Amino acid sequence: MDMFNTQKSQNQKKPSKNYKKRLTYEQVKLLERSFTSNNKLQPERKHQLSLQLGIPPRQVAIWYQNKRARSRTQSLELDYSALQLSLENALAEKQQLKREVERLNGELAKAQEMLFALNVQTTTTTTTTASSCARPVICPSLSCSDQEGMSSARSTIVHDLDVELEELYACLIGSDGLISWD
């Protein structure tokens, strides 16, 4: 029992600390309004608020300091959220552009295959047409002049096809050598 009394007397001997009181809703509301008008606290404003609220000036100063820190944290969180959203949008756009590039590369490959096939066909036709003049007449019912007319018509068709191929290729490749899909 002696020990219990000793602890009690020791607790009584300690000087009581002046603990801060929690602010009421109205006090916080007034401080918030004051903070929105100016987030830096001037000494005269601090004294005026402490008298108006009935709290020590140091408590007002600490409240302002804490409020500024909370505001910075909230601002950083908002900035982070905005950056995160921008990043997500950029990544989605990147994926969409990747798919578009793959699709366009597929179309380009098909167009190049068509051009290659047409070039091979044109080369074969041109070679056949050029060599047909040197050959003897295969069809005995046609005269030599008729066969020359057919050969001339074939070379005109081949020339027209070459021009169309060149235009198609120019449209696909563009004047600077890069593919342009206008």
Query: Any idea which residue has 């109205």 for tokens?
Result: 26
Q: How far is residue 160's CA from residue 118's CA, in Å, rounded to a whole number?
A: 12
Encoded tokens for 151: 């050969």
Dump pLDDT digits (tens) for 103-154. 999 999 998 988 888 888 777 766 555 555 444 444 445 455 555 555 565 5
Position 35, amino acid: F
Distance between terminal CA atoms of the chain? 98
Q: How far is residue 177's CA from residue 182's CA, in Å, rounded to a whole number?
A: 14
Q: How far is residue 159's CA from residue 153's CA, in Å, rounded to a whole number?
A: 10
In a 3-state reduction of DSSP, which class is residue 1?
A: coil
Q: How far is residue 70's CA from residue 76's CA, in Å, rounded to a whole number?
A: 10
Dump pLDDT digits (tens) for 55-107. 999 999 999 999 999 999 999 999 999 999 999 999 999 999 999 999 999 99
Encoded tokens for 159: 């020339």
Give the distance from CA 121 to its chain's centroid. 45
Per the CB < 8 A criterion, the answer to whether 38 and 45 are in contact is yes
**Is the model's pTM score more than 0.85?**
no
Q: How far is residue 162's CA from residue 131's CA, in Å, rounded to a whole number?
A: 18
